[in-house]
Each structure stands twice: as structure tokens, then as C-alpha cells.
Structure 1
Amino acid sequence: MRIMRSQEKWQSIIEDQQSSSLTIIDYCRQHKLSLTSFYAHRKKLDVTQSGFIRAKVMQQVEFETRQPDNINLSVGNATLTFPSSIPASYLAQLLRECAQ
């Protein structure tokens, strides 16, 4: 039987998944959610506004702190620089997205 959920409920589900340490697949399995529905509602709600870009890590990632007030993340020829005041939760989410 198909369960109907409101947009508010899907927003809550998607936010819960993002704050969890689970991949989307594992989260959906654990909460008995359809992957297709999850992705469709995420797209419909445009929850990508957090600024994260999904990336697949293709090589070893090195972390360096070149300046005391910056955090640098280097992947291949690309380097991302963040202020040291960036919330740890933001960096954690970024690393989770890169690992998927």
C-alpha cells in the first residue's frame, strides 16, 4: 500500500537524512522509503540549495592547513579554501557527500 506524505513531511525526512551519518540508500532502507520517491521529492522541494555539490572521490584526498585562519581541501588540481570559522557540521556534510 502506498503511503501519502505531505510536502512538509518530505522536507522533514530529507533534512533528517542530510543530518544523519547515513547514505541516502541506507537511510531509505532503514526507514522503508522508496529511493525513487525520495529523489523525486528532494528534487521537487529543491533541497540542493544548501550549496553542496555531489562529487565522487577518484583519488586520495589530502587536507592541509596552510594558514592559521584557513582550511584547505585539495583534490587533484582543485583546492577549496574555507575560513577556520566554518561550522564543523558543514565540513562533515561536504565530506559525506564526497564519499557517496
Structure 2
Amino acid sequence: MMSQTYRTREEWRALIAEFEQSGLSQKDFCEQRGLSPAYFGQRRLRLQREAEDNDTGFALAVPQPTTSQQSVQLRIGQTELVLPLSVSPRWVAQLVKELSA
């Protein structure tokens, strides 16, 4: 039987981030930590939905250090897109528009 432990929202976020970096299946991750896979999945989905609801619609654009190929890196949550600087801003805007539909 798994013990019930109260975790704060921040503790759940950290636990979910640890899971996403672990490379383990959700079942294996939960077994190793004595967590209910079903409850873990519920908490993970709830936090993902909260993050989507709080999304401001802005993405963080990070110019990469000068290298032989310069690029722009876009990050939204756990998603990362690296584009060459030669990409048209209109193309990027259209991509963002299509992805948000």
C-alpha cells in the first residue's frame, strides 16, 4: 500500500520535471518513488492544464551565441524550436498562428 503524502503544487512540479527528465515510463517512475501512477497522471494533467490556462501567449526567444550558423531558439514550456536567422519573421508568425489554432 502506498502512503499518502501531502505535496505542494511546487513539489508536484518538481516531481513531474524529474519524471520528464528521467527517461522512465510513468509506471516505473511511480513504482520507484512509491506513488500511485493513476494519481500521478491526474496531478500531471491538472498542472499541464493550469500552465496552458495561464499561458500569456508569449514565447521566450533566445538568440544563440555567435557561431558559424546563427539561430534563434524559441521555448514554450518544454517545447523548443531552433530556427536559422534567415527564416522570415512572417513565416515564424504564421507557424505560431497555426500551432495555436
- TM-score when normalising by structure 1: 0.45
> Which is bigger in relative contact order (C-alpha 8 A, separation at least 6)?
1
- TM-score when normalising by structure 2: 0.45
